[in-house]
């Protein structure tokens, strides 16, 4: 199988050497090219050609050559307003839509100034709405670089969270798109990446390298597979056609010892271009922490991205993306771990090589070939004294290598734009993992009358507890006893390698029929890994444009293959249902199976005049074989797990304004119900209280979240940006009710953890010396157990029934409002010319809100929002 895949890839790569050397824009970015002539048909040189999108602010300009020709490339998919101006002629204007990489051909005839020729100009709403059956948002560099967010090594995640409705934020750059955990694909200039891109798994493309993003949350087209709950189509910056050396140098310094810098350097002619982005940052709060105050959390991130373009003629383009990056970080401690001297750390190294080739056969047909190879190397290090680790010690050396090719042909004919292609790749996995219990209270054999660990360490049989005057631990995980180092056990040691081969063929069409747009498509996937599955996947979208009212109605259906996460897939497939908590390792092996999803979307866009656009979408997703992660304690090590099925539905939307004399704003919103159904397969060990066993709301479920972004840019380049983020609260799976939060409760909370969440009984708060183990009101009535940070359904202890319901009334983190502020200038000294000094200050969590993303979650652990953080920037643009 390995040989077959390698031969297929090499065969496709050889196609790129036939004929000319490498045309047009990579990925889904588009090209507009054409000729400008006067009424007599003579060419018009030095005419200024500009395209502009009124919502994203994207703008690109070029001048016609001596032959009257022009080319605008690397244009993100969107509707645009195009204008051509030349001395002595009327302005020529036309609306142009970019939806794919097939070049748009134009021949513009300029009218002589003062004549009565009518120019082609559509109403303002036509520039705003997109007749596209799939819901998506567009984020341009102008927006991304001025979002006042602070998250070292996770700027790309923040850009997605703050620009997209229906995305729930979580710690460490995680986000949950439309009820899923992390089913996200990044397509960078045509290179598909469906493995995890959070900074605890890998390294992210720096935002300094991004020109624009199309973030698809609706029904995915047939070219997209693997992880499709959210697809981020990213177009990187290019030096092609810039005509001069240009770039920027920036330095930053701020809270928690945050310091860093960025270098961007571009140069290009009409045939050659190169853009380089080098970024680095060090922070004393690199990861989101299990306490509001960070302990043992220093980390640094360095990235290097280089894009090279070569266009020797009008029919061929060569493209090459190079990426190298590193994250080196400490694992943050909670108070108990800090007191015990825990000092765990992690390093991630990433490199990627992604060439590309495009050949234009005619004005209507384009070939694109994108081969690539990419590697993540993950190392996790325990404390030098493994008994300083609480409650477990672990080490890991893991590698993930992808190589493959995505190739397609796009052609336009009449009302049809057809794309057909293939996507072939292999993922090579290597996993080394060591694990042991270092805390005798983590999985005790015997407990006393208060539920505390008791008895000598030599006792390994719970049947011997009675003879000692103790009780057998009712929550004992027998599968973990061999790895309890405090009871004479030994480290669990695992080593394995494996290959995941994937093959896909797809065909899709965009049919324009009057006011209708149809997007039928079909994809066939073959997954050949630890398990095998073939999946035919029909897809269809319909959009209808009501031009008179500026309205677009849409509906779509998609069938998708849900593939397992590759990170720690080998070990998770070897532990069986329930993981090590339910099985002796080696007795059960259950490879995680790919799943299937049926997804339905319906929505609309409505332009209100020339200044406001409303976009809303309803989604319903039914998945058989729904994936998530099982987190190992307070570490960054996670294991893929699969649930029998899930039902997700909700609403996502965005209200956007155009630029109104420097002011521009948008508001995103989302509501999700994420219902999951057991049994669960895979994982290592769980934390917190066990689930009841029926349908439950997973910690991706959030009733409502919204983000408001408001920005004003003064004509003299001063600007201010303000964000308001509301989150109603994710589900807390590990502490279902008040009883679980008590000492001796199912969550196994320590006094320090009670203090951390502000736990109180009848208004009296827990302290380290006086934790809460029971809560009774007057005359033996149920007490009132509250938390400053959790909702906590009452009961669940003594004889008081729990008011929690896994499906209808789960515990959640408390709702929160957080505010960010950015103030800056694009030209500090107000000087004319290419060289400018820039300066800005970003403040995240302006009101210093104390809040949680999650707490003791089996699926993501414990993470606080960052305290108020201030970072200053100073830079030079040239």
**Residue 481's beta-bridge partner residues?**
none
CA–CA gap between residue 851 and residue 136 (Å, rounded): 30
Contacts 24+ apart (CB under 8 A), 718-721: 718/824, 718/825, 718/826, 719/146, 719/822, 719/823, 719/824, 719/825, 719/826, 720/821, 720/822, 720/823, 720/824, 721/146, 721/147, 721/148, 721/820, 721/821, 721/822, 721/823
Which residue(s) pair with 783 in the sheet? none
pLDDT at 13 over 50: no
pTM strictly above 0.95: no
Token match 């102008």: residue?
Answer: 142
**CATH number given to 2-125:** 2.60.130.10
Of 875, 855, 872, give the one whose Cα is nearest residue 863.
Answer: 855
Of 829 and 16, the structure prediction assigns the larger pLDDT to 829
Chain length of the chain: 878
Q: Has residue 543 got a pLDDT over 80?
A: yes
Range with the poorest average pLDDT among 74-88, 711-725, 809-823 = 74-88
What are 661's two structure tokens?
């004399």
Sheet of 760-761: strand order equals 764-765, 760-761, 785-786
Query: Cα dist. 39→36, 121, 286, 735, 749 in Å?
Result: 10, 19, 62, 75, 81
Q: Are 592 and 569 in contact (CB under 8 A)?
A: yes
Q: What's residue 53's pLDDT?
A: 86
What is the CATH code for 136-235? 2.170.130
Q: Which two tokens stand for residue 8?
A: 């297929």
* CA within 13 Å, CB half, 683: 24
3-class DSSP assignment, residue 174: coil
The answer on pLDDT for 606 being more than 70 is yes
At residue 858 the predicted structure's pLDDT band, cuts being 50, 70 and 90, is confident
Contact 319, 272 (CB under 8 A): no
- Answer yes or no: are the C-beta atoms of 54 and 128 closer than 8 Å: yes
Q: Give tens-digit pLDDT for 763-795.
A: 999 999 999 999 999 989 999 999 999 999 999
β-strand pairing of 184-188 with 230-236 = parallel
Span 321-335, mean pLDDT? 97
How far apart (Å, rounded) are the C-alpha atoms in residues 280 and 125? 42
Q: Which residues does residue 664 pair with via DSSP β-bridges, in sequence order?
A: 711
- Write out pLDDT tens, residues 684-707: 876 555 566 789 999 999 999 999
Spatial CB neighbours of 766, under 8 Å, sequence gap ≥ 6: 751, 754, 755, 759, 760, 772
pLDDT at 588: 64
Helices (H), 225-309: none
CB 438 within 8 A of CB 391: yes
Report the alpha-carbon angle 726-731-735, nearest 5. 130
Does 25 score more than 70 pLDDT? no
Contact by Cβ (8 Å): 113, 135:
no
pLDDT tens-digit readout, 725-759 = 999 999 998 899 999 999 877 777 889 999 999 99
Of 526, 560, 557, 523, the C-alpha closest to 540 is: 557
Comparing CA positions, the residue from 590, 582, 584, 587 lying closest to residue 682 is: 590
- Mean confidence (pLDDT) of the chain: 91
Q: Which residues of 495-514 are buried (b: 16+ CB within 10 A; e: fewer)?
A: eeebebbbbbebbbbbebee
pLDDT on residue 250: 96
DSSP alpha helix (H) spans, 148-230: 155-161
Largest Cα separation within the chain, whole Å, is 107
Question: Is pLDDT of 760 > 50?
Answer: yes
Q: What would the mean pLDDT of 641-670 be, rounded to a whole number?
A: 96
Instruction: Report residue 17's pLDDT band, with 50, 70 and 90 as the boundaries.
Output: very low
pLDDT confidence of residue 122: 43
Q: Are strands 365-381 and 516-518 parallel, antiparallel or unpaired?
A: unpaired
Rounded average pLDDT over 244-268 = 96
Q: What is the pLDDT of residue 687?
A: 53
125 — phi, psi (to 5°)? -65, -25
- Which has more pLDDT, 382 or 30? 382
pLDDT tens for each residue of 188-220: 999 999 999 999 999 999 999 999 999 999 999
* Mean pLDDT, residues 408-433: 96
φ, ψ for residue 96, nearest 5 deg: -130, 140
Q: The dihedral of CA 170, 178, 653, 228: what is its sign?
A: positive
The alpha carbon dihedral of 397, 859, 224, 670 has a sign of negative
Residue 18 banded pLDDT, cuts 50, 70, 90: very low
At 856 the three-state DSSP class reads: strand
E strands, 240-340, are 246-254, 258-268, 272-283, 299-310, 316-330
Please give the Cα distance from 1 to 132 (Å, whole number).
39
Q: Which two tokens stand for residue 804?
A: 């929690």
Please tell me what DSSP assigns to residue 868: P
Checking if the pLDDT of 117 tops 50, the result is: no
Secondary structure of 441-475 in the HEC alphabet? CCCCCEECCCCCEECCCCCCCHHHCHHHCCEECCC
Q: Where are the domains of the chain?
A: 2-125, 136-235, 446-483, 738-786
Mean pLDDT confidence for 470-492: 92
For the segment 25-34, the average pLDDT, to the nearest whole number, is 77
Instruction: Sort strands 816-825 and 861-864 into parallel, antiparallel or unpaired.
Output: unpaired
Half-sphere exposure of residue 867: CA atoms within 13 angstroms, side-chain side: 11
Q: What is the 3-state secondary structure (H, E, C) of 328-347?
A: EEECCCCHHHHHCCCCCEEE
Q: How far apart are CA 74 and CA 2, in angstroms?
A: 35
679 upstream amide cis, omega within 30 of 0:
yes
Distance of CA 547 to the CA centre of its chain: 34
Q: Strand, coil or helix: what is 223?
A: coil
Q: Using the 8-state DSSP alphabet, how is residue 23 labeled? A: -
The answer to whether the CB of 481 falls within 8 A of the CB of 440 is no
Q: How far apart are CA 787 and CA 757, in angstroms?
A: 6
Quickly list H helices, 635-750: 738-741
Whole-number Å distance between alpha carbons of 16 and 446: 68
Q: DSSP H helical segments within 106-153, as ranges?
A: 141-144
Mean pLDDT, rounded, for 609-638: 94
């Amino acid at each position: 199988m390995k040989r077959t895949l390698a031969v297929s890839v090499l065969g496709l790569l050889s196609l790129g050497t036939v004929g000319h050397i490498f045309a047009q824009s990579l990925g889904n970015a588009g090209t507009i090219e054409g000729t400008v002539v006067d009424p007599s048909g003579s060419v018009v040189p030095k005419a200024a050609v500009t395209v502009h999108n009124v919502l994203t602010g994207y703008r690109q300009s070029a001048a016609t050559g001596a032959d009257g020709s022009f080319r605008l490339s690397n244009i993100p998919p969107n509707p645009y307003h195009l204008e051509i101006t030349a001395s002595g002629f009327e302005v020529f204007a036309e609306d142009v839509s970019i939806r794919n990489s097939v070049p748009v051909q134009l021949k513009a005839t300029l009218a002589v100034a003062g004549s009565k020729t009518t120019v082609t100009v559509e109403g303002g709403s036509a520039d705003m709405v997109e007749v596209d059956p799939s819901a998506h948002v567009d984020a341009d560099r102008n927006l991304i670089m001025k979002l006042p967010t602070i998250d070292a090594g996770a700027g790309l995640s923040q850009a997605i969270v703050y620009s997209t409705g229906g995305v729930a934020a979580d710690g460490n750059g995680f986000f949950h798109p439309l009820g899923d955990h992390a089913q996200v694909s990044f397509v960078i200039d045509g290179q598909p990446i469906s493995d995890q891109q959070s900074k605890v798994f890998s390294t992210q493309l720096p935002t300094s390298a991004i020109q624009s993003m199309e973030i698809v949350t609706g029904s995915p087209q047939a070219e997209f597979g693997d992880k499709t709950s959210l697809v981020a189509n990213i177009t990187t910056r290019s030096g092609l056609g810039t005509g001069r050396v240009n770039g920027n140098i920036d330095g930053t310094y701020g809270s928690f010892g945050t310091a860093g810098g960025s270098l961007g350097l571009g140069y290009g002619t009409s045939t050659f271009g190169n853009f380089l982005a080098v970024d680095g940052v060090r922070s004393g709060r690199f990861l989101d922490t299990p306490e509001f105050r960070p302990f043992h959390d220093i980390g640094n991130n360095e990235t290097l991205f280089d894009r090279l373009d070569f266009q020797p003629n009008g029919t061929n383009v060569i493209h090459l993306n190079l990426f190298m990056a590193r994250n080196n970080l400490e694992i943050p401690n909670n108070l108990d771990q800090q007191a015990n001297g825990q000092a765990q750390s992690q390093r991630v190294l990433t490199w990627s090589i992604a060439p590309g080739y495009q050949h234009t056969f005619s004005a209507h047909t384009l070939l694109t070939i994108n081969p690539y190879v990419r590697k993540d190397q993950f190392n996790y290090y325990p404390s030098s004294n493994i008994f300083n680790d609480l409650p477990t010690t672990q080490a890991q050396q893991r590698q993930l290598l992808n190589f493959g090719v995505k190739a397609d042909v796009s052609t336009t004919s009449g009302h049809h734009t057809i794309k057909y292609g293939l996507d072939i790749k292999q993922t090579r996995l290597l996993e080394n993992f060591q694990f042991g219990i270092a805390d005798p209270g983590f999985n005790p054999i015997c407990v006393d009358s208060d539920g505390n660990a008791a008895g000598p360490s030599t006792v390994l049989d719970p049947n011997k507890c009675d003879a000692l005057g103790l009780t057998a631990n009712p929550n004992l995980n027998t599968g973990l006893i061999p790895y309890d180092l405090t009871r004479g056990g030994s480290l669990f040691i695992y080593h394995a390698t494996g290959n995941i081969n994937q093959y896909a063929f797809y065909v899709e069409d965009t049919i324009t029929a009057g006011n209708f747009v149809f997007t039928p498509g079909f994809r066939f996937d073959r997954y050949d890994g630890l398990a095998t599955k073939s999946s035919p996947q029909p897809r269809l979208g319909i959009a209808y444009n009501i031009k008179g009212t500026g309205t677009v109605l849409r509906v779509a259906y998609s069938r998708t293959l849900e593939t397992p996460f590759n990170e720690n897939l080998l070990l998770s497939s070897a532990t069986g249902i329930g993981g090590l908590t339910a099985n002796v390792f080696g007795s059960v092996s259950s490879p995680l199976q790919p799943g299937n999803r049926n997804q339905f979307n319906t929505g609309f866009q409505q332009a209100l005049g020339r200044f406001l656009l409303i976009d809303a979408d309803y989604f319903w997703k039914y998945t058989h074989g729904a994936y998530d992660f099982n987190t190992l304690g307070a570490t960054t090590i996670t294991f893929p797990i699969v649930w029998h099925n899930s039902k997700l539905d909700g609403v996502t939307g965005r209200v956007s304004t155009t630029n109104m004399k420097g002011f521009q704003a948008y508001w995103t919103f989302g509501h999700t119900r994420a219902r999951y159904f057991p049994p669960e397969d895979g994982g290592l060990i769980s934390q917190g209280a066990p689930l009841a066993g029926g349908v439950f709301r997973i910690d991706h479920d959030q009733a409502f979240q919204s983000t408001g972004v408001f920005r004003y840019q003064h004509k003299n380049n001063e600007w201010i940006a303000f964000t308001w983020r509301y989150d109603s609260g994710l589900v807390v799976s590990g502490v279902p009710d008040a009883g679980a939060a008590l000492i001796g409760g199912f969550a196994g909370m320590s006094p320090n953890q009670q203090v951390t969440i502000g736990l109180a009984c009848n208004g009296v708060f827990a302290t380290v010396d006086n934790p809460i183990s029971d809560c009774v009101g007057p005359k033996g009535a149920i007490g009132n157990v509250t938390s400053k940070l959790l909702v906590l359904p009452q009961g669940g202890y003594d004889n008081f029934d729990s008011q929690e319901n896994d499906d209808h009334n789960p515990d959640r983190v408390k709702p929160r409002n957080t505010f960010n502020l950015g103030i800056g200038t694009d030209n500090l000294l107000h000087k004319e010319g290419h060289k400018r000094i820039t300066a800005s200050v970003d403040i995240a969590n302006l009101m210093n809100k104390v809040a949680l993303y999650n707490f003791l979650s089996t699926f993501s652990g414990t993470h606080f929002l960052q305290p108020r953080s201030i970072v200053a920037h100073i830079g030079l643009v040239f």
